[in-house]
Each structure stands twice: as structure tokens, then as C-alpha cells.
Structure 1
Amino acid sequence: MKYYIILVLITSLFQHAFSQDSTKQNNALLLDYYQNQRFDLAADYLKQNNHEPITNIKILKALAYCNQMNGKLPEAETYYERVYAIDSTSTSVLYSLGSINLRRGNEINAEVFYKKIIAKDSTNFIVYKQLAKISLDKKDVILAVNYLIKANKLNPEDADVASDLGDMYISMKAYNAAEKVLNRAIIADPENMILLQSLVKLEYNQKKWSETANNCEKLVLLGNQSSSILTQLGIAYYNLNEYKCGIETFGQIADMEQTETTYYFTGACYKALKDYDKAISYFQKTITQGISPNINSYYSEIADTYETLKKYKKAEIAYQKALQFTETPITWYSLANLYDTELKNKSSAIKYYKKFLATKPAKNQQNYIAYAKSRIELLSK
């Protein structure tokens, strides 16, 4: 059926462009190019048989389409613009120009073409959908919502629009509106995973834990075992007092995808089950996960800045704070040097120089190693 339609379109496009005797042969060749996705050859063939200046709209459209499908967007745009110059009423040409500009990252031009379409056709669902995307990219949330509302009214069963609009309503805490939009679309497609994910987001925000768990379970059965869905499912189980189910669910999340939240609720589940050792273990993981791995560097930078300002006691406190999170050789060395040169605390200087050496610093820190050893020897006298 698909190829039959293509053949009909090609016949319609080209039957007048060639001689009567060659029409069938030309159409067969072009159909072969189309079926084999050889739009480059189709474009070359059209150029060879239609010399410039080409004024026939159907040939220009065909050249534009072939170049568009072949990824030659500037050439495609040029041909569509030539068609538009001849016929500025063509919705399909306006849409193609909008789509090409969108693909090239020129959303401003795309928006202009799409707005021209809705100016004469206020029932074009696809255009409202595209305008909503452009508005979101521009961070114009209100305009995006307005376009999504119009698109949703035209086609309330479209999953992408219903999901996007539902998510926008959720972010605005307009939960009743979100529920209405999502439920209407889900009636038409109960197993649509995009819609179910938005519904879970809604129910989670409403703290409807039974509904959240049910729809998360449905998503898992449908094949969505993402960390996001498992996290929401685990939290729902916790709030439903299904602590063992919560632990099992969080345990399905890969180590690389575990978060501060998943560790916390795992610990909370163990605590509720009175398994206090495991609860403490996971709460400790929560703390570790919640702290930036660069926190030592941040405190060390604060300490170094205080040294520059000659506020040595504050520098000492900052270095000690850095070591509470990560014990790095350079932090031990910096603190030792501070005690040695500025705070004149021999015992502390020796102590931290030794801690620095005990870390077995890298070879590129030989100068620090040599200096630390010499200072320990001198200060110990």
C-alpha cells in the first residue's frame, strides 16, 4: 500500500514533466530511487530532466523533498522558498520550511512559518505541538502551556501532548487539570508508558501512595525498570508500610544509580523493621552520597585563602574540616606547614608532616617529601 501511494504521488508529480512515451519508464525509475532511499539519485535525475529556470511547482516540490530527505537542508529550503514565492498559500510548504529551520536550529524562523499556518488554519494540531516545543525551548512556559492546551483540545488522545501538558500542570500544582488531561489520554491507550510515567509523577506529588505503587508496578511489568520508577515505587512502599517490598525495590537499582534518596529510604525501611545496624549503615551511605566528593578541595581552598589573609586560626579550622571529609596528602602537608611556619606549633607540625609521609605521596611530590623529612628532623631536635 505504501509503495502504491508513492507511485500515485510520483505519477501525479511527473507525468506532465516528461514526454508521454517516457512517463512510465521515468516513474518506475523514480519509484525505485524512492523505495531504496536514494533521494540523492532522485534529485540528480530530476535536475537532469528539468533545466533551470524551473518554474513548475510540482518539480520544485519534488526537488525540495528529495534534498530534505537526503539531509541537504539548505538546498531543500531554497527549493521550498522558490515554491513559496510562487504559491504563498501552501500549508505543506510552510510546514516544510518550518521543519527544516527547526532541524537547523533556527527556531525563530521556524516559529514564523508555523505561525503563518495557524493564522489561516487554527485547527492544525501538529503546528501547535511544534510551537509548544519552541516555546519551551525559549523558556516561555505560559505560551507553551497555551499551545499545548490548543493541541490537546484538537487531539486529546495524543500521548506526547497529553504527557507534556500534564507535566506542565503538575509543575504548576494544577493537579486536577493534570488528572483530567492524563486520564482522558490513558483511556485511549492504557499501556502507554509515556502517559503512565506522567500519571505516576502526578500521583507521587499528590502523595497517593497506593495509586503510585500500582502504576509503578504496571510500568515495571511493561519493561520500565528505570531508577526513577523504582525509586518512586520504593518510596510508595515505604509510605504504605510495605518495608520489605521497599528494600527489595531499592535493591534492584544498580549501585551506580543509587542516590541519597534511595539510601535514605532503604535505611528508613530497615529502621521500621527494627534492623538498626543496617539502618545505620544506609544512613551513613546517605550522608556520604549527599556530600560532594570535592568537599575536601573546597575547604582547602577556603583554608588557603585564609592563609593569604593571614587569618591562620581560621585556616587551621578549614584544613581540619577538609580532613574530616577526605584525607589527602596535600591537605596533611598544608596543615603541617601552617603549624610549622605560621602557628609555630612544633608538635603539631611534626605530627602532620608524619601523617603526610605515611600516605606515601606520589613521586611527583618528591620536593614535598624531602622538605617534610628535613623539617621533622630539624623540629625534633
Structure 2
Amino acid sequence: MKKIAFSLFILPLFSFAAFAQSAAADKNKVMDFFQNQQFDEAVSYLTPAIAADAKNIQLLGYLGYAHYMNDNTREAENVYRQIVLIDPDNIAALQYLALITKNDSPNEALQYTRRLILLQPAKAVYYRSMGELFKRKDVQDSAFVYFSKAYSLAPKDYKNGVGLADVLLDRKEYTRADSVTEAGLEQDSVNLSFLKLRIRSAYNADDFQSLRIPGEQIIRMGESPLTALTQVLIGYYNLKLYSDCIRVCEYLNDKGYMVDNVIYYEAKAWAKLKDYDKSNALLRVCVNLSISKSAEMYYYNLALNYESLKQYAKAINQYDTAYYLFKNPVMNYNCGRIAEAHLHNIQQAQKYYLRYIAEAKPTEADEVKAYAYVKERWGKKKTTAAKK
């Protein structure tokens, strides 16, 4: 359910009708329902009142709001459509309809927003909404026109600057985008949206030096936007500032971002610092992260198929790969079994069986039985070999 402060949200949007008493409903009772977040109760209370006065815009506005706040957007939309049929210029109803339809019916949202612009042509928020809708539709030229208008009307509203800079970056107009973001950062140096846009611009323009200030500001703030900070660490790597690259990687790791691209660049940076052991350890982590756990089953079934085709060497290769990636000791057992039973390669069988014995902790009945066999037969060979 939407929990929005009563005094900040309800009153402005119900300015389209005076808070006069209705013969069918008590305004104070409705306000109490809203104040206490009792939207179901508000709907139950308003429904019979509206049945008696179906064209009462004030009551319909209350009902639409109650449905909207109760996450019943379909009913809210129906109610606001009724209001617009009665009063086509009703600002609040048009605002809600534009908001409700923007995701599922963007073309409808465009029509409602155009109507709002005609009714209130000096409102920057409507032009920004149009820009957002056109951007979603990937109509970049129109998005640029509307974001530009919104910014010209209200340049100090950071949302207008963010929208315009974003479109300018899409158009590869980096200098113009930077002027907008820098103006925004002059007003608010810790605005995360502008900081991310500044990083994106510098990264796309291969201006890696310019990544440093906004990147370090984000880290000081304790924020961790993955895309932006990944661009920062790549920038440090390209600037040959390998220790800084590692520091940003570790910062993201501490924030819970154990992703292969971050760890990969950390590994590359350690290699540049000639710490190859650390680099290799991180590269192994990358391998494990980049391969899904379900891949073990794929390798296992590939091996079964090769066994059925009597292509035993290929079957062993698949089991061996599965073990290397996922460390399941049963894969060593399968390799030993094929080497013993089909290839009659005792030395190879022993190698795999001894690995299996060293790591396996069987719990299933079938594996307990197989483990006992391997340990009884091949464990003794290990002891004999050791005595020799």
C-alpha cells in the first residue's frame, strides 16, 4: 500500500473541489479515513454516497484517491475517467490518469499529459513527464525537446537537469551534458544522479581523469552504484593507477558486489603490480562466478551420453571438468569407474579413486556402498604403495 504523507499529498490534489459538506457524506469522516490509512473503509463509506450522487466530482475524487492508495489502480482509473467525462479540464483527474497509464498505456499517458500542458503551459513537471514518456518510447528527438523545455522553465529542479543531461549523453553531446551536470553539482555537490551522469559522460568520452572526482565523492558518501563505480575502477586501470583500481574493487566487494567484471579488473590490477598469486586466485573466483551451478548437471549429462556412445575418454573429460569447476568428489568416482571398467587403465583409475576417497563424505545409500568398495580395494593399494 502507498504510504504518502497526508498533508503533502492529499490536500493539493483535491484542490479541484472545495471541501464542502456533501449531503451524502461527511467530509470530516472521509478525511479521518485517509489520515488513518483506512482506505478500504473509505471506499465502503463513499460507494453508497456516490450511488446517490453519481456526478459529484468531490466524492468521485475521494473515491479515486482511496482506490489509488489501496493499490487498486484499475478502479482508480475508472473513477478518474468518470471525472474527466464530467469535467474534461479537471487537473487532478488528468494528473492521476497520466500517472496510472504511463507504464501500461504510454500513448494514453501522452494524451493526458498533452492536455495538462495545454491547461497549465508554465508547469515544468508536465514537460519532463512528456520527455520521460518519449524516452521510454525511444523517440530521442522529442524527448530532447521536452526535457529542454522543462529545464528552461525550472533549471533548479534537479530532475529536469538529470533528464536533460541523460538525453544529451544518449545523443553523445558530452560537453553540453557536462555543463548541465556541473550546474547541478554546483547547487548540490552530493547529488548522486548528477555524479553518476558525470561519470558516465567521462567514461564514454574516454576522459578517465574526469572520473576521479565524482567517483571519490560517491565513495565518501558510502554509496555503491555498480555501473558508475565499475566505470571508475576501469578508468583507474586505464590511467595505470592500479592501487586505486584495487581499492574501488574492494570497496564494491565490501558492499556485496562480488561480480565477475569487478573481480576481473582487480585480478588484472594485481597482475600489473606483479602479485600473480593474488591475481590467479581472483581469476579462479571469476571462473566460478561466470559459470552457473546448473552447468555441473550439463557436464554430468554430457558424460552420461558419451558413456552411452562408448566414447569413454570424452566421458572422463566431462566428469573431470565438472569436478574442476564445482569440486563434487562424485565426479572423481565416475572418472575412476570408467577408467577401471571400460578403459582397464588401473593407474588412471587409482588416481581418480584416491582423490575420491580423500574428499568424499557419502550420505546416500548407493554412494555409501560405492565408497566402501573403493576404500576397501583402492585404499589398500595406497598403503602398499606407501610401504614400497
TM class by shorter chain equals 0.7 to 0.9
Matched, 1:148 2:143: yes
* Conserved? CA contact 2:312–2:338, under 8 Å: yes
1:222-301 correspondence to structure 2 within 5 Å:
222-225=221-224, 230-255=229-254, 256-270=256-270, 272-273=272-273, 276=274, 279-292=275-288, 294=293, 297-301=297-301
What is the TM-score when the length of structure 2 is the normalising length?
A: 0.73
* Unaligned stretches of 5+ residues in structure 1: none
Q: Give the residue type in structure 2 aligned to 1:342.
A: H
* Conserved? CA contact 2:234–2:265, under 8 Å: yes
Tell me the SS of whatever aligns to 2:18: helix
CA distance in 1, matches of 2:173, 2:342: 60
CA distance in 1, matches of 2:94, 2:213: 45
* Conserved? CA contact 1:332–1:355, under 8 Å: yes
* Conserved? CA contact 1:336–1:350, under 8 Å: yes
* Conserved? CA contact 1:335–1:352, under 8 Å: yes
Compared with structure 1, are the counterparts of its residues 297 and 34 closer, same or farther at alpha carbon in structure 2 (3 Å cutoff)? closer
Q: Deviations over 1:22-57 (max 9, x none)?
A: x9xx55555444444445555555456555252223
CA distance in 1, matches of 2:229, 2:208: 14
Q: Which residue of 1 aligns with 2:87?
A: 87
* Unaligned stretches of 5+ residues in structure 2: 1-6, 383-388
Q: Which residue of 2 aligns with 1:107?
A: 104
Structure 2 residue corresponding to 1:369, chosen from 329, 349, 371: 371
- 1:12 positional shift: 4.5
Tell me the SS of whatever aligns to 1:361: coil
What is the TM-score when the length of structure 1 is the normalising length?
A: 0.74
CA distance in 2, matches of 1:210, 1:84: 54
Compared with structure 1, are the counterparts of its residues 179 and 51 closer, same or farther at alpha carbon in structure 2 (3 Å cutoff)? same
CA distance in 1, matches of 2:85, 2:228: 51
CA distance in 2, matches of 1:224, 1:162: 21
Matched, 1:328 2:328: yes
Compared with structure 1, are the counterparts of its residues 231 and 339 closer, same or farther at alpha carbon in structure 2 (3 Å cutoff)? same
1:161-200 correspondence to structure 2 within 5 Å:
162-163=161-162, 166-167=165-166, 170=169, 173=172, 175-176=174-175, 178-179=177-178, 181-183=180-182, 185-186=184-185, 189-200=188-199
Q: Give the residue type in structure 1 aligned to 2:146.
A: A
CA distance in 2, matches of 1:169, 1:7: 33
CA distance in 1, matches of 2:190, 2:141: 27
CA distance in 2, matches of 1:127, 1:55: 28
Compared with structure 1, are the counterparts of its residues 329 and 132 closer, same or farther at alpha carbon in structure 2 (3 Å cutoff)? farther
CA distance in 2, matches of 1:80, 1:55: 12
Count of residues in correspondence between the two structures: 362
- 1:358 positional shift: 2.6
Q: Deviations over 1:211-249 (max 9, x none)?
A: 111111222333425555554444444444444444444
Q: Which residue of 1 aligns with 2:385?
A: none
Q: Deviations over 1:144-186 (max 9, x none)?
A: x345323311222454454456456546655445435534544
Q: Which residue of 1 aligns with 2:340?
A: 340
* Conserved? CA contact 1:7–1:27, under 8 Å: no
Tell me the SS of whatever aligns to 1:150: helix
1:349-360 correspondence to structure 2 within 5 Å:
349-360=349-360
Matched, 1:208 2:210: no
* Conserved? CA contact 1:60–1:80, under 8 Å: yes
Q: Give the residue type in structure 2 aligned to 1:285.
A: A
CA distance in 2, matches of 1:337, 1:171: 58
Q: Which residue of 2 aligns with 1:73?
A: 73
RMSD of the TM alignment (CA)?
4.2
Compared with structure 1, are the counterparts of its residues 221 and 304 closer, same or farther at alpha carbon in structure 2 (3 Å cutoff)? same
- 1:72 positional shift: 3.7
Compared with structure 1, are the counterparts of its residues 136 and 371 closer, same or farther at alpha carbon in structure 2 (3 Å cutoff)? farther
- 1:207 positional shift: 2.6
Q: Which residue of 2 aligns with 1:17?
A: 22
Tell me the SS of whatever aligns to 1:107: coil
* Conserved? CA contact 2:116–2:126, under 8 Å: no
CA distance in 1, matches of 2:116, 2:35: 34
* Conserved? CA contact 1:216–1:233, under 8 Å: yes
* Conserved? CA contact 1:10–1:27, under 8 Å: no
Compared with structure 1, are the counterparts of its residues 218 and 36 closer, same or farther at alpha carbon in structure 2 (3 Å cutoff)? same
CA distance in 1, matches of 2:163, 2:301: 43
Tell me the SS of whatever aligns to 1:155: helix
Identity of matched residues, %: 22
1:120-139 correspondence to structure 2 within 5 Å:
121=117, 126=125, 129-130=128-129
- 1:83 positional shift: 1.9
Q: Which residue of 2 aligns with 1:319?
A: 319
CA distance in 2, matches of 1:221, 1:7: 38
* Conserved? CA contact 1:73–1:100, under 8 Å: yes
CA distance in 1, matches of 2:224, 2:368: 50
Deviation larger for 219-228 or 167-176: 167-176
